[in-house]
Amino acid sequence: MEEKKKVLYSAVQPTNNLTIGNYVGAIRNWVQLQSEYDCYYAIANMHAITVKQEPALLRQRTLELLALYIACGVDPEQCVLYVQSQVPCHAELAWVLNTITYVGEMERMTQFKDKSARHAENINMGLMDYPVLMAADILLYQADVVPVGLDQRQHLEITRDIAVRFNNRYSPTFTVPEGIYRKVGAKICDLQDPTKKMSKSGEDPNGAIFMGDDKDTILRKCKRAVTDSETEVRYDPDTKPGVSNLLSIYSVMTGKTMDESVREFAGKGYGDFKLAVGEAVADVLIPIQQEQKRLLADKAYLNGVLNRGAEAAFRTARKTLSKVYRKVGFYQGDK
């Protein structure tokens, strides 16, 4: 008898252009993980509207993100690919979980503090409640594991706290998820400020390489990347954050180990090093861009993928939600 696979959940917002940090930290790993786990991969458009969005652009970017997923190698036949808003259970479970989540916990969230500072004119309840909706996303599918970047560790921990709290109050209901953390390249940093994470909403566009950047743009951004006044290419995040960041990028894009990457550039200058990093990134991104363009021309196919995904996600999510409703005492009629 074949052993049942563990369940894995992950999601990305369809906002702005994704960076290679999003690719390395999330989508690239999805491809590797989809054969090992029973995977649910979502387009998190409900999370996206905590910051003001242009509706038509949000719809467009939703399809673009789906096409990007598939172009990167995520297989709709192997996993469940869907749009978060097409499964109402996410919002329904989030409401129940709100009742066992404390305001102080949400106010302490680092991302809430950061986004509140950046969007002072729009500090809405959704922005504060973001981690509870994320908890609902994960717990609905009884996820055993969640691949997370270092910046999302806090959100996974509050998800675990909420699951344990609910289980203790109402009897065992949710699987308490574990995190999968990638060591090399877990945090791709800004090319202009390597002390910060590479962000799709960063102030300096030269700090991020976007998935849609052409080769010339990629090479130019790598050439302008901040390094240091030394000449040695070595991995030392504390004293050489810029060089170490470029080495992380090179390592994950080529599949080489960090030691192999460092040895390759022994005795070479920063100019050759930066060019090689840019070429490695372009070699990965250009074929993905071409396949994404081909997929976007077939809207019927993409809609079919999303509709099938939403149906499959709903079947699983509804089972969990019905169990939760029963546990908390919601009347559901005769079944």
Annotated catalytic sites, by residue? Answer: 115, 197, 200
The CA distances from residue 201 to 16, 64, 197, 205, 263, in Å, are 7, 18, 11, 8, 34
Task: Give residue for tokens 């998800």.
Answer: 159
Task: Please give, one letter per residue, the 3-state secondary structure of 184-249.
Answer: CCCCCECCCCCCCECCCCCCCHHHCCECCCCHHHHHHHHHCCCCCCCCCCCCCCCCCHHHHHHHHH
Contacts of 30 (CB under 8 A, 6+ apart): 10, 39, 41, 69, 72, 74, 79, 147
**2 and 182 in contact (C-beta within 8 Å)?**
no
Q: Which amino acid is at 225?
A: A
Contacts of 257 (CB under 8 A, 6+ apart): 184, 251
User: How far is Cα 168 from Cα 190, in angstroms, rounded to an integer?
Assistant: 42
The torsion of the CA quartet 85, 86, 92, 94, rounded to 10 degrees, works out to -40
**141 and 316 in contact (C-beta within 8 Å)?**
yes
